[in-house]
């Protein structure tokens, strides 16, 4: 968050500095103040309204008065898992989408939201739904939700500001160096180059930040789901089902992709391994997650001395 504000301050004040060096007049750093202000406001705005924005963007509606059996079940399951995790019950939202997916958002465990798609309710049995909800509550308990939601809003803000600035620059034109600033030629050139590069990579940097944080957190939330339900195989089978129905979740936009239990965009990157996928996918490869969960499941069964078929949810 602070990094974000500082980065914007650099973009703004750096621009002013270059401008001041290259021209004799224009001493007032309006661009710097403006951009820093924008950054502070967006950061604050992103933090406070992030959850509402994310939920609004997916078209979710809150489940306050469950009517059907499926709705009653999801409310019960969320309450059970909140007990298991030792957190207050989050608010429950339903996303009207046939593709199975789920995500969590909010600031802290006392103010959190869990959203599931209609599709998830139809394809998952009770155990699997429980495992998915437990995964999301894992995110809530780890405070991932705060970080992730803020990041989601910030990535959006960076993209927006850059688009706007790009248009302004093309319209207004940047001062060409060397015309007036003969005294500080090379310095200005280097600074200008750095500055322009910063502008270009701004969205990329914020995106990479999101990705790096989010992949690690997925494994952790998977492990917490296993801890809460004591049933890692249920999550494994839920993930298999979700993967099987890997049509893109149309109502979840790319900005909120890293919040979901599995990549809603159905990108092939998520399912491949290797350096590139490691850096650029929002989620670890599904096969890796499933095999880790199955490893936990078998270890548990071995300890209990049961057989695989007796307790594995199908």
Partner 1 sequence: MWVLLILIVAVGLWVVSAYNGLISLKNQTVNAFKQIDVQLKRRHDLIPNLVNAVKGAMDFERGTLEAVIQARNQAVKVNASGPEGIKQISQAENALSGALSRLLVTVERYPDLKATGNISQLQEELTSTENRIAFARQLYNDTATQYNTKQQQFPTTLVAGMAHAERTDLWEIEDQAERAVPQVDLSRR
Closest CA to 257 of 223, 207, 221: 207
Size of the site for partner 1 (CB under 8 A): 22
Question: Does 287 contact partner 1 by CB under 8 A?
Answer: no
Catalytic annotation present for 52: no
Q: Which DSSP category does 104 fall into?
A: E
| Residues 85-104, mask of contacts with partner 1 (x by CB under 8 A) | xx------------------
Rounded least distance, CB 313 to partner 1, Å:
7
> Under a CB-based contact definition with an 8 Å cutoff, are residues 226 and 232 in contact?
yes
Nearer to partner 1 (CB atom), residue 210 or residue 234:
234
| Residues between 27 and 86 with contacts to partner 1, criterion CB under 8 A | 69, 72-73, 76-77, 79-81, 83-86
Closest CA to 47 of 125, 6, 106, 134: 106
Only one residue has tokens 């709705």, namely 71
DSSP-assigned beta bridge partners for residue 92: 114
Nearer to partner 1 (CB atom), residue 75 or residue 213:
75
> Under a CB-based contact definition with an 8 Å cutoff, are residues 154 and 40 in contact?
no
Rounded least distance, CB 257 to partner 1, Å:
30
Question: Does 121 contact partner 1 by CB under 8 A?
Answer: no
Nearer to partner 1 (CB atom), residue 85 or residue 151:
85
- Strand intervals (E) in 34-156: 61-62, 91-95, 102-108, 111-117
Question: Does 127 contact partner 1 by CB under 8 A?
Answer: yes
Rounded least distance, CB 136 to partner 1, Å:
16
| Residues between 152 and 191 with contacts to partner 1, criterion CB under 8 A | none
Catalytic residue among 128, 136, 218, 243: 136
Indicate which single residue of 7, 33, 40, 125 sits in contact with partner 1 (rule: CB under 8 A). 125
Nearer to partner 1 (CB atom), residue 11 or residue 236:
236
Nearer to partner 1 (CB atom), residue 141 or residue 289:
141
Rounded least distance, CB 220 to partner 1, Å:
17
Triad 180, 185, 187: Cα angle to 5°: 130
Rounded least distance, CB 90 to partner 1, Å:
15
Rounded least distance, CB 93 to partner 1, Å:
20
Q: What tokens were used for 302?
A: 């071995």
Please state at what angle helix 185-229 crosses helix 2-22, rounded to 10 degrees.
170
3-class DSSP assignment, residue 143: coil
3-class DSSP assignment, residue 178: coil
Q: What tokens were used for 161?
A: 């500001």
Residue 261: alpha-carbon gap to chain centroid = 10
Q: Which DSSP category does 21 fall into?
A: H
Nearer to partner 1 (CB atom), residue 17 or residue 228:
228
By CB neighbour count within 10 A (0-12 exposed, 13-18 middle, 19+ buried), where does 294 fall? Answer: middle
- Catalytic residue positions? 136
Q: Which residues bind partner 1 (CB under 8 A)?
A: 69, 72-73, 76-77, 79-81, 83-86, 125-127, 130, 227-228, 230, 311, 313-314
């Amino acid at each position: 968050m602070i990094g974000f504000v500082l980065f914007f301050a650099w973009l703004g004040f750096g621009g002013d500095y270059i401008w001041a060096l290259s021209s004799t007049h224009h001493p007032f750093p309006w661009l710097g103040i403006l951009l820093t202000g924008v950054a502070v406001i967006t950061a604050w705005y992103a933090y406070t309204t992030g959850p509402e924005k994310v939920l609004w963007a997916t078209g979710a509606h809150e489940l306050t008065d469950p009517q059907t059996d499926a709705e009653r079940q999801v409310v019960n399951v969320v309450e059970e898992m909140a007990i298991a995790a030792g957190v207050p019950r989050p608010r429950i939202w339903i996303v009207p989408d046939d593709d199975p997916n789920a995500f969590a958002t909010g600031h802290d465990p006392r103010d959190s939201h869990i959203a599931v798609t209609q599709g998830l309710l139809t394809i998952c049995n009770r155990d699997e739904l429980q495992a998915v909800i437990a995964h999301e509550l894992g995110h809530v308990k780890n405070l991932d939700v705060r970080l992730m939601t803020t990041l989601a809003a910030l990535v959006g803000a960076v993209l927006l500001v850059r688009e706007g600035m790009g248009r302004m620059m093309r319209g207004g034109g940047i001062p060409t160096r060397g015309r007036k600033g003969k005294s500080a030629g090379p310095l200005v050139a280097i600074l200008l180059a750095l500055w322009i590069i910063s502008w270009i990579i701004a969205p990329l940097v914020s995106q990479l930040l999101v990705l790096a944080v989010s992949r690690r957190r997925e494994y952790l939330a998977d492990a917490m789901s296993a801890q809460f339900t004591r049933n890692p195989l249920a999550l494994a089978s839920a993930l298999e089902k979700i993967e099987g129905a890997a049509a893109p979740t149309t109502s979840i936009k790319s900005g909120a992709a890293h919040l979901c239990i599995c990549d809603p965009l159905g990108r092939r990157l998520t399912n491949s391994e290797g350096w590139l996928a490691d850096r650029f996918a929002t989620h670890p490869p599904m096969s890796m997650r499933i095999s880790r969960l199955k490893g936990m499941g078998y270890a548990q069964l071995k300890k209990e001395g049961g057989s695989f078929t007796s307790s594995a949810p199908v």
